[in-house]
Amino acid sequence: MKKMKAGFIGFMPFFDPSVDIYALLQSYAQLGYKGFEGGDMLLRGDYVENLKRVKSFGIEPITLGYMKRRMDGSEVKLSEIIENAHKLEVNRITTFSGVAGRFRFSDEIEPPTYDEIMREIEELEEVATECKKEGIEFAFHNHDIEFELCYRGVPALYLMCANSENLRIELDIGWCMYSGKNPAIVIKDLGSRLSSAIHIKDYIPKVVESPRRDGGVNLMPQFVAPGTGVVNLSECLEEALKNGVEWAVLEQDFQYNISQVEALTASYLIMKESGYVE
């Protein structure tokens, strides 16, 4: 039986100059991980040599990030991201949040309107269409809010699927579960609209506060290694594999009782033990 490959996102201290990120990637590859999201970091310096180096570890970049505007307000050129994807031999670009996510995690007081949601869907589909022309998949990564916000009786994420053709969904099974949906059923329902990767996340039913930059707090679940919380990991991985998903990408926003390396180690072994991940 063909199995999914293990990837991860996060776990990289980008802003700590004392850390050798390549040594870190090599150590993660030795744990069993085959890919990582956030390949943009390889563009710093000689990208050809950087890519060759990480591939020699047995690990590779599997997506680049996309946002309409940078944090400083400057506009992002899609053509540059596509060019960078080709440079790094990456066939997927992912946007990790949208207008609903900004309401969920920032200081936006009012949720996006129906018109704002529909306008964003149109823009995302335009990006997905341009990416498809270049042989690149464009995916949207959800949080809980895209299932919770409903417009005309329909969750925002389902509006996104119903009003697009080329956009794919990189389902985060933990946030999906936290919204009250069964992620295995959502995986089955999305079918071919799924991205080539899903995010593997789990939590225990305990609410924690995460500080925001504006001084407020976000209420979050307490994340744990997959398979040790409320998510039926095996069921989700089985459905994902049936739907042709290639990558099981670990994401654990915060660690509480174990270190990052311990979280990566435990999570990989648990995914491998399921029988659905290499």
Q: Which amino acid is at 222?
A: Q
Question: Is 235 exposed, middle or buried (CB count within 10 Å of its CB: 0-12, 13-18, 19+)?
Answer: middle
Asked if the model's pLDDT at residue 101 lies above 60, the reply is yes
Asked if the model's pLDDT at residue 71 lies above 60, the reply is no
pLDDT in tens, 134-144: 999 999 999 99
Q: Which two tokens stand for residue 225?
A: 């290694």
Q: Model-level pTM greater than 0.75?
A: yes
Question: Is 75 exposed, middle or buried (CB count within 10 Å of its CB: 0-12, 13-18, 19+)?
Answer: exposed
Asked if the model's pLDDT at residue 240 lies above 80, the reply is yes
Rounded mean pLDDT, 196-201: 98
- Identify the CATH number of the domain defined by range 5-273: 3.20.20.150
| Cα distance between residue 207 and residue 209, in whole Å | 7
Asked if the model's pLDDT at residue 238 lies above 90, the reply is yes
Helix, strand, coil abundance in the chain, percent, nearest 5 = 40, 20, 35
Mean pLDDT, the chain, whole residue set: 95
Residues ≥6 apart with Cβ < 8 Å to 64 = 38, 39, 40, 81, 84, 85, 88, 90, 92, 93, 94
Res 215: pLDDT: 80
Res 76: pLDDT: 80
pLDDT in tens, 158-171: 999 999 999 999 99
Helix (H, G, I), strand (E, B) or coil at 234: helix
pLDDT in tens, 120-136: 999 999 999 999 999 99
How many separate helices (H) and strands (E) can be counted in the chain? 11, 12
| Cα distance between residue 238 and residue 82, in whole Å | 32
Task: Answer for the pair 5, 278: CB distance below 8 angstroms, yes or no.
Answer: yes
Per domain, the residue ranges of the chain are 5-273
- Closest CA relative to residue 221, chosen from 252, 191, 243, 246: 252
Res 39: pLDDT: 93
Helix (H, G, I), strand (E, B) or coil at 231: coil
